[in-house]
């Protein structure tokens, strides 16, 4: 942190925020962040988020999307966010994966979009995208988002293949997901490739996808293997690390399953 006093306060801040999040008091946790930022600067918030267990950060950030203001969303360090994504699936109610997978995927998009574009800072955006997509669970997260618009994603994949960094991102249909895909590809070619292969696991690299044509009707079966949104959500759920040694969340405000316990 910026001074000796703030360094001394770090363990207490981490403990306080962690307890509030586990109790479901996300707004109060944000108030603690705000006070820390006022007293010690934004770096203090980033330090607390670095020290928090990633499952606690996931629980906190999942309560905010692009429509809600959050200091944590704006200031979470790239690695801390990437680590927290390993636990994001633990915040989802079990029945929604089966009953409404698209709703979960759209909420996940709001979460990712809210963090990546919280600041108008291209360098930070690239660092966030690179860190998040460098892991197996991160590749699955992005594949879940792409599964909401697979036809458009394939179109932009072909354009990226032919134009590289000069890609325009124009596709046959408007989709909020395409600009994120383009920015991921620009930030990290490896991360972009891994996310594509999560969605289309039969291929070894994106160049093999150049001639794919998906049916216009999403209910029509494709000749190419494509993981569905539901399958990818379940796949991410299975990637959640075990955290049985961590403290149990308060039962007063259940935000998902008991994978955290």
pLDDT digits (tens, 9 = 90+) for 93-104: 878 899 999 999
Element (H, E) at 84: helix 78-84
State the Cα torsion 89-95-97-100 to the nearest 10°: -130
Distance CA 223, CA 181 (A): 24
Distance CA 29, CA 2 (A): 21
- Every domain of the chain and the residues it spans: 1-91, 93-239
Average pLDDT score over the chain: 82
* pTM metric for this prediction: 0.83
Distance CA 155, CA 62 (A): 30
Over the stretch 136-153, which tens digit does the pLDDT of each residue have? 999 999 999 999 998 888
Residue 257 pLDDT level (bands cut at 50, 70, 90): very low
Whether 214 contacts 222, CB under 8 Å: yes
pLDDT top residue among 237 and 4: 237
CB atoms within 10 A of CB 22: 21
* pLDDT at 221 (0 to 100): 57
């Amino acid at each position: 942190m910026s001074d000796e006093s703030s360094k001394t306060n770090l363990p207490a801040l981490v403990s306080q925020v962690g307890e509030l999040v586990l109790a479901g008091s996300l707004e109060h946790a944000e108030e603690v962040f705000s006070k820390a930022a006022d007293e010690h600067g934004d770096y203090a918030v980033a330090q607390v988020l670095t020290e928090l267990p990633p499952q606690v950060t996931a629980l906190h950030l999942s309560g905010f999307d692009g429509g809600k203001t959050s200091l944590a969303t704006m200031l979470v360090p790239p690695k801390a966010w990437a680590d927290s994504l390993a636990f994001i699936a633990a915040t989802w109610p079990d029945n929604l994966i089966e009953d409404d997978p698209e709703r979960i995927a759209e909420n996940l998009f709001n979460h990712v979009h809210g963090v990546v574009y919280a600041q108008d800072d291209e360098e930070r955006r690239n660092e966030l995208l690179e860190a998040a997509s460098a892991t197996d669970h991160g590749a699955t997260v992005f594949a879940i988002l792409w599964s909401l618009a697979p036809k458009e994603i394939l179109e932009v994949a072909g354009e990226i293949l032919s134009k590289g960094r000069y890609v325009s991102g124009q596709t046959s249909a408007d989709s909020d997901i395409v600009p994120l895909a383009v920015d991921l590809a620009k930030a990290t070619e490896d991360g972009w490739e891994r996310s594509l292969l999560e969605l289309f696991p039969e291929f070894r690299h994106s160049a093999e996808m150049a001639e794919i044509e998906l049916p216009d009707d999403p209910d029509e079966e494709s000749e190419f293997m494509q993981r569905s949104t539901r399958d990818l959500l379940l796949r991410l759920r299975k990637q959640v690390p075990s955290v049985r040694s961590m403290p149990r969340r308060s039962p007063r405000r259940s935000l998902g399953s008991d994978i955290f316990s």
